[in-house]
Amino acid sequence: MALRFVSNNEHLIDYGSLRTLVVDDIPGMRSALKMTLANFGITRTDVASTAQEAIFRLGNGPYDLILADYNLGEARDGQQLLEELRHRGLITLQTVYVMVTAEAMYERVAATAELAPDDYLLKPFNGEVLRNRLEVIFQRKLAFSEAHRRFAEGDLEGAVAACDSLMRNKPRYLVDALRFKGELLNAMGRFEEGEALYRLVIEMRAVPWARLGLARVLHALGRAQEAEAILLDALAAAPEMMAAYDLLAEVRIARKDLVGAQQSLQEGAAISGKTVRRQQQLGELAYENGDLETARTAFQAALDKGRHSIFVSPADYGNLCRVQVEQGNLNGALDTLKKNKDSLQLAPEGQLVTAVIQSMVHSRSGQADLARRALDEAGRLRGEGVHGDGRLMLDLADSCMTQGRNEESDAIIGEVAKNAHDSEALLSKAREIYARCGRAADGEELLKKATADVRKLNNEGVYLAQKGDFDGAVSRLLTAAKEAPYNPRILMNAAWVLLRDADQNGLKEGGLQEAKRLLDEVERLAPGHSRLPGLRSQVREIEARYGISRRPHP
Amino acid sequence: MSLEAKDLYAALMHELKNNLGLLAMAMEQIPRQDSEAHDRPLDDARLLCQQVIERLRQSLLLYKAAERPLPIEIDAYSPHEFVQEMRDEAASLAHGRLQVSAAVDDGVPPIWFFDRNLVDIALTNAIHNSLAYARSRIEIRVGMAEERLCITVSDDSDGYPEHLLHAPGLDTPLGSGGTGLGLRLSQMIAQAHVNRGRTGELRLSNVPGAAFSILLP
Ligand SMILES: Nc1ncnc2c1ncn2[C@@H]1O[C@H](COP(=O)(O)OP(=O)(O)O)[C@@H](O)[C@H]1O
Ligand SMILES: [Mg+2]
């Protein structure tokens, strides 16, 4: 016997109350969408023509539903808009985000992205389809509201339990629930369970996101070789899977295959070169591999694509100029500074980048006077506490030493070494500078001394924590963090020990705040570091345990 | 054709398709007046517009399939929701001139894995055909057949011409009445779905009336 269709929806959606934002660069499309939405009662609709405008509107108040075109006719597309909105906390998991695309290919690109929209609509679509899809999406959101709420409260255990209950009681959400649960397990560091989950999904069907998830947990479990094989397989079947190229690069870095990592990012960038972070990472890898021309193009692309992106910082201008200088293109470097003068002057770090690059260019072209002036300016900024990334600071030290300002350069290099005691790339660059100025022995001694303190404090702290002496461990690691305030490894260890202390011995005055501050700092220094999600979820667990409420959304 | 010219053609087809989409949306805004003289030409124009859009979607797919095997993007969907969406779309084009119904057989699982966009193209073609040939009714039904999900569009038309029943789609010479393009693509779409060594299939029959079934492993 067949069932006639009766609506299987359990809840009525009150369309009249939904605040909606339509993002499309084509005016005709904006108004058509607005009218179509009005046809079924969605009347509170705003429109935006660019990602920039959308971000502005969302800054002024939340929306329940966002319909965004994939192709926004500018540097940022609808997928990047989604990523940026999530990153800035401007939308929550409850916000419905629907991507509108003109081509099925874009669906394949975005479908496997880390952050998937709630659905895709292929252009052209009619009002009937839109109404149907929205109904389905809102019913799903309602079904997941418990899981999403728990997640927002930091109660990941609770969110997992909500997923399990959905799987049992609402089989039509089985796959969606598995997908969300996989992400939760990953965030909680429960990688073995994640592996089992993704294998279960693949047993049903080898959908791309499950392969990607499996590769990610295997990588986290240190099984890089298996992860690489799975990614290569997945890419052979679906070469548009952008996230797979990024993950493959990470996996190859873990396997110390930097050339392979660069190649993977290059292949990814050839298909979709718009992602700022992909270009930045490609630039860094290529630079490390000595492939200056690829590095230059990638750093340039990162700046071109990221003109208004929050993922671009003054360090990116420094990276591009450094490559240009090393290629012998001094005028090119000055040109880059000139073209981006406005952005660079905005922040003190940008001013420091400008001064350092100028000092490099002028000392190479033998204009000692100009070089000196630039160094004076850099020194002034440094005196005010302005700080750049490790490479920039080494450039500054290099210029200083070349100009005979040894005292200044030694101080800077000491600082860099403390803050990067585990970075072979930076330490060997420092050695190179000393060697070039005929001070190899001096350098060796200085680097040893600078890293020794931090290393000792760090090792002692970790050792004491393992022995159970948390007071000793916390004091060692907080001292280390003060000594090396830009050292991600140290800051994360300090946060780790604070959290373990709270976990085992209860909350101490200010401990949790300090851990969170340290993690925020790491996020700034090393965005997306692989240890961060695990530490963040420990914070949430402890907050949940002690009933510390968080703002509804970060 | 040079590579650039080919891309240009594809871009043009996209633009045509999207502008027609805008036109269709604009026509949806024209209120009906419950007068045959006003509503009939409007409904015809809307249907025609959707048919042209569908043709362009088919052409773009064909263009893509010429370069390499049909790219396929499998994910999990609810057959119930999918069929309901197809039903509503058909009903909005039929405008009460034909009765459109949908049904889900017992035993259809809550989720199935398929390429929603491709199967949509196949079913929309079948629905448009039925809108053109049916006398009074169209039914969209989803069931299970040989462990495959089977979605059927059937109507009360005179049925498919004999030669199509024996060799649907690919084996039909082009130009034997209509273009045959829609059924051809439907067969390609069915066959692009492969799971554990089992392949999708297109089946046409007259029950009487035409019945179009796509079976997805
Ligand atoms: N529902 C139907 N009832 C009767 N004949 C049909 C039906 N659907 C398709 N046909 C026949 O099959 C032919 C091929 O259909 P199709 O491949 O969709 O191409 P086209 O729509 O361009 O004619 C049609 O021309 C028509 O003769
Ligand atoms: Mg047809």
Q: Where are the domains of chain A?
A: 1-143
CA–CA distances in Å: residue A36 to residues A2, A136, B22, B25 = 34, 17, 11, 7
Name all residues whose Cβ lies below 6 A of ligand 1: B 125, 129-130, 133, 155, 157-161, 164, 177-183, 210
Distance A436 CA to ligand 1 centre (A): 80
Ion ligand 2, residue ranges at CB < 5 A: B 125, 129, 182
State residue A306's pLDDT score.
Answer: 73
The yes-or-no verdict on residue A551 having pLDDT over 50 is: no
pLDDT over threshold 50, residue A4:
no
Judging contacts by C-beta atoms under 8 Å, the chain A residues touching residue B75 are: 111, 175, 207
Give the DSSP per-residue string, A408-430: HHHHHHHHHHHHTTT-HHHHHHH
Total residue count of chain B as it appears in this document = 217
Residue B179: pLDDT above 80? Answer: no
Query: Using 50, 70 and 90 to split pLDDT, how confident is the model at B173?
Result: low
Confidence of residue B165 (pLDDT cuts 50, 70, 90): confident
Tens digits of residue pLDDT in A323-340: 999 999 999 999 999 999
* In chain A, % of residues over pLDDT 70: 94
Average pLDDT over residues A226-237: 94
CA distance A235 to A271: 12
Query: Among A4-8, A107-111, A166-170, A333-337, which stretch is predicted with the lowest mean pLDDT?
Result: A4-8
Chain A residues with CB inside 8 Å of B117's CB? 104, 107, 122
Under the banding of pLDDT at 50, 70 and 90, the label for residue A534 is confident
Which of A8, A28, A207 lies nearest to residue B80, judging by beta carbons? A8
User: So what's the pLDDT on residue A422?
Assistant: 84
pLDDT level of residue B2 (50, 70, 90 thresholds): low
**Tens-place pLDDT, residues A354-368:** 999 999 999 999 999
**Residue recorded with tokens 């700092």:** A521
The SS3 assignment for B214 reads strand
Amino acid at A507: L
- Whether residue A3 and residue B76 make contact (CB cut-off 8 A), yes or no, is no
Average pLDDT (A293-311) is 87
| C-alpha span between A257 and A274 (Å, rounded) | 25
Contact status of A236 with chain B (Cβ, < 8 Å): no
| CA nearest neighbour of A246 among A124, A123, A154, A109 | A109
Per-residue confidence (pLDDT) for residue A122, from 0 to 100: 79
Q: Which atom of ligand 1 is nearest to the CA of B55?
A: 22
Chain B hits for A8, Cβ within 8 Å? 80
Q: Predicted confidence band at A513 (pLDDT cuts at 50, 70, 90)?
A: very high
| Confidence (pLDDT) at A105 | 55
Task: Please compute, for residue A518, the number of CA atoms within 13 A of its CA located in the half-sphere on the CB side.
Answer: 32
pLDDT digits (tens, 9 = 90+) for A493-506: 999 999 999 988 88
For chain A, the C-alpha Rg in angstroms (whole number) is 26
Pairwise CA distance, residues A90 & A255, whole Å: 36
CA distances A130 to A106, A296, B22, B124, B207, Å, are 18, 44, 14, 16, 33
Q: Does A347 touch chain B (CB under 8 A)?
A: no
Indicate whether A550 pLDDT > 70: no
Closest CA–CA distance from residue A11 to any residue of chain B (Å) = 15
Q: Note the pLDDT of residue A106.
A: 53
Residue A126 predicted with pLDDT over 90: no
Nearest CA to ligand 1 atom 1: B130
Query: By percentage, how much of chain A surpasses pLDDT 90?
Result: 63
Q: Give the C-alpha distances (Å, rounded to integers) separating A114 from A83, A110, A183, A282, B143.
A: 9, 8, 10, 19, 34
A200: contact with B, CB 8 A cutoff: no
Over 60: is that where the pLDDT of A2 sits?
no
More confident residue, A317 or B164: A317
Give residue A6's pLDDT: 42
Q: How much is the pLDDT for A309?
A: 73
pLDDT in tens, B94-131: 988 899 999 999 999 999 999 999 999 999 999 999 99
Tell me the mean pLDDT in the region A377-400. Answer: 94
Atom of ligand 1 nearest to the CA of B179: 22
* pLDDT bracket for residue A74 (50, 70, 90): low
10 Å CB burial of residue A356 (0-12, 13-18, 19+) is: buried
Name A117's Cβ contacts closer than 8 Å, sequence gap at least 6.
A78, A79, A82, A97, A98, A99, A110
pLDDT recorded at residue A270: 87
The mean pLDDT of chain A is 88
- The pLDDT of A440-456, averaged and rounded, is 92
Q: What is the pLDDT of residues B52-96, one digit of tens each?
A: 999 988 888 888 787 778 888 889 999 999 999 999 999 989 988
Q: How confident is the model at residue A109 (pLDDT cuts 50, 70, 90)?
A: low
CATH number of A1-143: 3.40.50.2300
Question: Residues in chain B whose beta carbon is closer than 8 A to a beta carbon of chain A?
Answer: 14, 17-18, 20-22, 24-26, 28-29, 50, 53, 71, 73-76, 78, 80-81, 84-85, 87-89, 91-92, 101-106, 109-111, 113, 117, 141, 143, 195
- Given a contact cutoff of 8 angstroms between Cβ atoms, the answer to whether A186 and A198 are in contact is no
Structure tokens at B113: 């894995």
Asked whether the beta carbons of residue B14 and residue A32 sit closer than 8 angstroms, the reply is no
Most confident among A25-39, B1-15, B169-183 (mean pLDDT): A25-39
Contact A295, A368 (CB under 8 A): no
ipTM passes above 0.95: no
Kindly report the protein residue whose alpha carbon is nearest to atom 22 of ligand 1: B179
> Coil, strand or helix: which one is B160?
coil
Cα of first residue to Cα of last residue in chain B, in angstroms, is 37
Check: CB of residue B94 under 8 Å from CB of residue B47: no
Measured between alpha carbons, how far is A136 from A149 in angstroms, rounded to an integer? 20
Q: Categorize the per-residue pLDDT at B177 as very low, low, confident or very high, splitting at 50, 70 and 90.
A: low
Domain range B75-216, its CATH number among 3.30.565.10, 3.40.228.10, 3.40.50.300, 3.40.50.970: 3.30.565.10
Alpha carbons within 13 A on the beta-carbon side of A380: 9
Where do the DSSP E strands lie in chain B? 75-77, 99-105, 112-114, 137-145, 148-155, 194-195, 198-199, 201-206, 210-216
Q: What residues of chain A, 90 to 129, have a C-beta less than 8 Å from chain B?
A: 102-105, 107-108, 111, 122-129
**Phi first, then psi: what are they for A432, rounded to 5°?**
-60, -45
| Residue for token pair 């910082």 | A313
Q: How do beta strands B112-114 and B75-77 pair?
A: antiparallel
Ligand 1 centre from B178 Cα, in Å? Answer: 6
Q: What is the pLDDT of residue A1?
A: 39
- Write the residue in A35, A105, A132 that is nearest to B84 by C-beta: A132
pLDDT value of residue A552: 42
